[in-house]
Amino acid sequence: MKSYIAKPSEVQRKWYVVDAEGKTLGRLTSEIAKVLMGKHKPTYTPHVDGGDFVIVLNAAKVKLTGKKLDQKLYRYHTGYVGNLVEIPYRRLMDEKPEEVINHAVNGMLPKNKLRSRMMKRLRVFAGDVHGHDAQNPEVLDI
């Protein structure tokens, strides 16, 4: 019996909405990454971008366990000598809570050419209002 290989033209995409209120960051983002990759579908093929769209609401109300809110740092380098910027997650959650979920999901996706396409299908909102009602998103229970 031959294995089924999905073709990019045969991919059917759906929209899902996830409420992040009270959810743990790592457990939430690993489930989001699975949906973006398409691993929840029986037609999953690693080299084909077959995932779905995900809308995340209430990103500002996501939880971090233990002392991560104060001890965990978001780091990036500006490109200039000696300019490594470190931002504690508490400050990042106050200023840009969407970036916390984007950064976590980005690290869980495969490091290849498909990652940027998968990240374009992730929409994160700090509040509970989104402008994607026309796509009729289904609620994804995590």
Over the chain, what is the mean pLDDT? 95
| Nearest alpha carbon to residue 35 among 132, 127, 141 | 141
CA atoms within 13 A on the CB side of 106: 11
Which comes out higher in pLDDT, residue 142 or 15?
A: 15
Assess whether pLDDT exceeds 90 at residue 51.
Answer: yes
Produce one character per residue of 13-42: b if its CB has 16 or more CB atoms within 10 Å, e if not.
eebbbbbbeebebeebbebbbbbbbbeebe
pLDDT at 5 (0 to 100): 92
Q: Are 38 and 76 in contact (CB under 8 A)?
A: no
Which comes out higher in pLDDT, residue 142 or 72?
A: 72
Residue 87 bridge partners (DSSP): 74
| Nearest alpha carbon to residue 99 among 122, 116, 83, 68 | 122
Q: Which CATH code for domain 13-68+95-139?
A: 3.90.1180.10
| pTM for the whole structure | 0.93
Assess whether pLDDT exceeds 90 at residue 1.
Answer: no
Type and span of the H or E element at 119: helix 114-119
- pLDDT tens readout for residues 115-135: 999 999 999 999 999 999 999
CB atoms within 10 A of CB 90: 14
- pLDDT tens readout for residues 79-127: 999 999 999 999 999 999 999 999 999 999 999 999 999 999 999 999 9
Handedness of CA 51, 53, 58, 60 (dihedral sign): positive
pLDDT at 3 (0 to 100): 87
pLDDT at 11 (0 to 100): 94
